[in-house]
Amino acid sequence: RESFDIHLAGEDAMVAFGRQLGSMLPDGCLVFLEGDLGAGKTTLSRGMLSAFGHHGVVKSPTYTLVEPYHLGKKLIYHFDLYRLGDPEELEYIGIRDYLQQANCCLVEWPERGAGMLPEPDLRIQIRIENGARRVLVEANTERGEGAIKQLAA
Ligand code: ADP
Ligand code: MG
Question: What separation in Å is there between the alpha carbon of 105 and the centre of ligand 2?
Answer: 14
Res. 31: pLDDT tops 90: yes
Using the mean position of ligand 1's atoms as its centre, give its distance from the Cα of residue 126 in Å. 10
Q: Is 57 in the pocket of ligand 1 (CB under 6 A)?
A: no
Give residues with Cβ within 8 angstroms of 54, minimum separation 6: 69, 71, 76
Break the chain into its structural domains and give their ranges. Answer: 3-152
Q: Is the pLDDT of residue 117 over 90?
A: yes
Kindly report the pTM of this predicted structure.
0.97
CB 41 near ligand 1, within 6 Å:
yes
Task: State pLDDT tens for residues 55-99.
Answer: 999 998 888 899 999 999 999 999 999 999 999 999 999 999 999
Min mean pLDDT across 4-13, 54-63, 89-98, 118-127 is at 54-63
The pLDDT tens digits for 39-55 are 999 999 999 999 999 99
Query: By percentage, how much of the chain surpasses pLDDT 90?
Result: 95
Say if ligand 1 is within 6 A of residue 48 CB: no
CA-proximal residue: ligand 1, atom 25 (nearest)? 10
Specify the CATH superfamily of domain 3-152. P-loop containing nucleotide triphosphate hydrolases (3.40.50.300)
Which of 117, 129, 115 is closest to 13 using CA atoms? Answer: 129
List, in sequence order, the alpha helices (H) in 23-140: 41-51, 89-92, 95-101
pLDDT given for residue 153 in this prediction: 86
